[in-house]
Amino acid sequence: MFGISDDPVSLEFYSTRAAVFNVESITVAEVRCACPQLNASGRCDIYPNRPKACRTFKPGSTMCLAAIQRRRPDQVSQILALLK
C-alpha cells in the first residue's frame, strides 16, 4: 500500500492495477501480491537494504494499520499486540 497522486491519470492507471481508496484523506493504492523478497517464514530477506517504499511504511503508522485491517481482519488484535 502506498500513497498516490489523485490526478485523473494516476487514478486511472492505478485503478486498473490495484485497489484505490483513501486513508485519512490520502489516496492510496494497494497491489495484492507477495513481495518476492519475503522468505518462507514471511520475513524480509533484504531488510537492511529494503526499498524506500518499505522504509517509509512505519510499523503502527496509519498506513500500517489500514493494511492490517484490510489484509488480516481476523488477526487485527493479535498483530496490534505485537506492535506495542
Mean pLDDT, rounded, of the chain: 83
Domain coverage including residue 41: 2-83
pLDDT at residue 59, as a whole number:
77
1 class by beta-carbon count within 10 Å (0-12 exposed, 13-18 middle, 19+ buried): buried
Evaluate if residue 6 carries a pLDDT over 80. yes
Evaluate if residue 57 carries a pLDDT over 80. no
- The number of domains in the chain is 1
Q: Starting at the edge strand that comes first in sequence, how are the strands of the sheet with 26-30 ordered?
A: 2-3, 26-30, 19-23
Evaluate if residue 39 carries a pLDDT over 80. yes
Q: Average pLDDT for residues 9-38, to the nearest whole number?
A: 83
Evaluate if residue 53 carries a pLDDT over 80. no
Q: Average pLDDT for residues 20-26, to the nearest whole number?
A: 86
